[in-house]
Amino acid sequence: MAKRPPHSAGPFVKPALVPTARPATQPAPAGKPDPADLYAALDLGTNSCRMLIAQPKGSQFHVVDSFSKSVQLGAGLESTGKLSRNSMARTVGALKICQKKLRHHEVKRMRLVATEACRRATNSEEFLKLVTRETGLDLEIIKPEEEARFAVISCAPLVSVNTEQLLVVDIGGGSTELVWIDLSRVPKVDRPRAIMRLHTGFDSKNSEFPAAKVVDWISVPLGVATLRDQFNDVDDDGARFALMSWFFEENLAEFTPYIDADQVRAGFQIVGTSGTVTTVAASHLGLKRYDRNKVDGLRMTSDQIDHVIQSYLHMGPEGRRTDPRIGKDRHALIMSGAAILQALLRVWPTDRLSVADRGLREGLLYAQMSSDGVLEEGPY
């Protein structure tokens, strides 16, 4: 499915540049996969470098090891169009740790991907060669559709059997992916499984099973880092937040479901996956120490989300910097993420948002394991 570029509300949004695709990363060994094999998924985004190493377990997987670090790879990209030397050095340092973990666990089946920052940077090929030279890892720049698809399938276990219209939102550092899925023709009991089957692609015409229909999807080149950078010159905290939220909504105008947003209510579910969404959830729960088990799958009302966002505004930059619920790696980005979240809830009024502490990495793992046939069929 070809996707048109998002609407631009001003001349200062740079179009995404997608370099020539690199060969598939570390192809899986030939032969039948062993269910005991370990799999890895690495997501190098605009702000963070994150990796999971996991083993198939029933219809899910068990995480053996993980890594997450804020590397700010896209710092300065908005103004220069290039990845800076300092950003590349920080990222290579993080990737060396990932390489040691992969070697320690003897992982042979993996996908190591890079997203928006590397799609846009004019020197991304130079950076990928540096990574290979310094770490031995071959990163693969994936297209926006793939990024959106992996985010969607990672959220399959959180899809309610009563959901007929599903919006999955992945707020990243450099871009935000939105995917609208029609599940109305899929039997209730099969809806989460139908989402999982999208790992083969958004075009479901040839499926022999009841298919989830992707109505539309969009990759907006605005994430928590890039949206913040657009309005760095606005001094007033409240005005900057309002402008960011308005500007993000302007970039949704080309998304088909935007037109009929007021008619959506019954059987509608939004699933949000990102550090922004999980941070808002942790703040709502009053968690001073993050607990994934309490956050993943939580359903928040729009009033609860708005209450948290208003509390962030009331704190101001200094208050957010010292709030333990937000964390030192998130405080500078939380308001741009909250602006995106507020815009979404303004466009599609809903009583609930499902919080997903999962995303691209989990989707990459599900896709690899599903393709290898090592996941059991069953409820998700």
Is there a single domain that holds both residue 137 and residue 157?
no
pLDDT score of 14 more than 80: no
CATH number of 74's domain? 3.30.420.40
226 and 342 in a single domain? The answer is: yes
Is residue 326 a contact partner of residue 283, using CB atoms and an 8 Å limit?
yes
Mean pLDDT to the nearest integer, 228-240:
92
**CA–CA distance, 110 with 42 (Å, rounded to integer):** 8
- Cα dihedral 296/297/303/307 (nearest 10): -10
Identify the DSSP state of 31.
S
**Would 28 be classed as within a structural domain?**
no
Q: Are residues 270 and 303 in the same domain?
A: yes
Domain range enclosing 125: 39-142
Burial 48-74 (b: 16+ CB within 10 A, else e): bbbbbbbbbeebbbeeebebebbbbbb
* pLDDT tier, 329 (very low <50, low <70, confident <90, very high otherwise): confident
Between 200 and 343, residue with greater pLDDT: 343
Enumerate the H helices of 41-123 as residue ranges.
Answer: 77-80, 85-104, 116-120
Could you give the dihedral angle defined by the CA atoms of residues 191, 197, 203 and 204, in that order, rounded to the nearest 10 degrees? -60
Both 114 and 176 in one domain: the answer is: no
Q: Evaluate whether residue 22 is within a structural domain.
A: no
5 domain-assigned: no
| Same domain membership, residue 203 and residue 77 | no
CB under 8 Å to 24, separation ≥6 — which residues? 140
Does 29 score more than 60 pLDDT? no
Orientation of helix 237-250 relative to helix 302-322, angle to 10°: 130
pLDDT at 198: 84
Give the tens place of pLDDT for each residue, 291-324: 999 999 999 999 999 999 999 999 999 999 998 8
Assigned domain for 82 exists? yes
Q: Examine residue 24 and state whether it is found in any structural domain, yes or no.
A: no
In the chain, how many domains are there?
2
Separation of alpha carbons 247 and 130, rounded Å: 36
Lowest mean pLDDT among 29-33, 123-127, 167-171, 361-365: 29-33
pLDDT of residue 209: 66
183 & 277 share domain: yes
Angle between helices 334-347 and 275-285 (to 10 degrees): 90
Verify that 133 and 163 share a domain, yes or no: no
Q: Are residues 94 and 129 in the same domain?
A: yes
CATH of the domain at 225: 3.30.420.150
Domain match, 138 and 163 both: no
The residues pairing with 68 across neighbouring beta strands, listed in sequence order, are 50
Task: Examine residue 237 and state whether it is found in any structural domain, yes or no.
Answer: yes
254-to-178, 218, 219, 220, 342 alpha-carbon distances in Å: 12, 8, 11, 10, 19
The reply to whether 128 falls in a domain is: yes
Average pLDDT of the chain to the nearest whole number? 85
DSSP H helical ranges for the chain:
77-80, 85-104, 116-120, 124-135, 144-154, 191-196, 224-230, 237-250, 275-285, 292-295, 302-322, 334-347, 360-372
204 occurs within a structural domain = yes
The reported pLDDT for the residue numbered 13 is 34
Q: Do 209 and 326 belong to one domain?
A: yes
Query: Across 241-245, 284-288, 367-371, which has the greatest mean pLDDT?
Result: 241-245
Q: Which of 91, 123, 142 is the last residue of a domain?
A: 142
Clarify whether residues 208 and 136 are in a common domain: no
- For residue range 50-102, what is the model confidence (pLDDT) as tens digits? 999 999 988 789 999 999 999 999 988 888 999 999 999 999 999 999 999 99
Contact 255, 165 (CB under 8 A): no
Q: Is 264 helix (H, G, I), strand (E, B) or coil?
A: coil
